[in-house]
Amino acid sequence: MSLNAATYQPGTTPLHALDARVKITVVLVYSIAVFFVDTWWGMGAYAVVAVACLAVGRMRVLALARQLLPLWLILALTLLSSALGGAGILVGLFYVTRIVLILAASFVLTATTTASDISQAIESMLRPLTHVGVPVRDIAAVSGIALRFIPIIIDEFQGIRAAQASRGARFASGGIATRAKAWGGAFTPLFVGLYRRADRLAVSMDARCYGFQRIPSRLRECALGVGPAIGMLAVAAALVACAILL
């Protein structure tokens, strides 16, 4: 399987060993607080945090950048529209930097945490909502399935696109109609395959009596320690303070 933004990268770094609930909380605070940063000093501080996490987690950033080539086009269009709209190129660059930092934070989470750990962490964090009737287990299951399917979808799309290109489909040349036809020829079998996979998954979950046992057992239940909890609160407070003060 090729590397992409949603693929877990096995490792023994401190970020890999960190509790998934801590990582999810910090990434959420980081992603929300970065929208309140309105100076380049603050954005620079957030960039330092992102780069430090990428370095500590030993992320393969260049491979990620190659996988996100379509997104770079969107970022370029964002920058161009801001420059042409009168806001200025610096404002556009500021917006682009904000999006890149959020993507980097998300990449750190998914690259250092398995899909099952993320699913269990979400279920653990939302467990108090079960008292008001929120289907927490179903939400966690959907999150885990989505994370597992994203790499599969990307790999299948790349395979379909390569097969269509070998048959003469022109994705990057020709007129708009030619390109639209080529992309349509790639997306149609992709969606058909997704529906087929979803049907098989539904049958498999039904055969395993999903939903029958209200409180399923787990191999291991990890309580959040005092140290990680204090560290999580300290980092979250520092991120909020940075967003407000810088």
pLDDT tens readout for residues 72-105: 777 877 788 777 766 678 888 888 888 889 888 8
Cα–Cα distances (Å) from 135 to 91, 125, 130, 164, in that order, read: 42, 13, 6, 42
pLDDT for residue 47: 92
Residue 151 carries which side chain, given as an amino acid letter?
P
Question: Do residues 187 and 161 make contact, with C-beta atoms less than 8 angstroms apart?
Answer: no
Q: What is the pLDDT of residue 29?
A: 94
Pick the closest to residue 229 from 147, 138, 124 (CA basis): 124
pLDDT at position 33: 92
Cβ–Cβ < 8 Å for 99, 78: yes
Other CB atoms within a 10 A radius of the CB of residue 153 amount to 17
What is the reported pLDDT for 86? 64
What pLDDT sits at residue 68? 65
Question: Cα separation of 165 and 158, whole Å?
Answer: 10
- In whole angstroms, what is the distance from residue 34 CA to residue 221 CA? 33
Residues of the chain short of pLDDT 50, as ranges, are 1-3
CA 231 to CA 236: how far, in whole Å? Answer: 8
What integer pLDDT is reported at residue 165 of this predicted model? 84
Residue whose C-alpha is closest to residue 16's, from 64, 65, 60, 56: 56
Predicted confidence at residue 30, as pLDDT, reads 93
In terms of residues, how long is the chain? 246
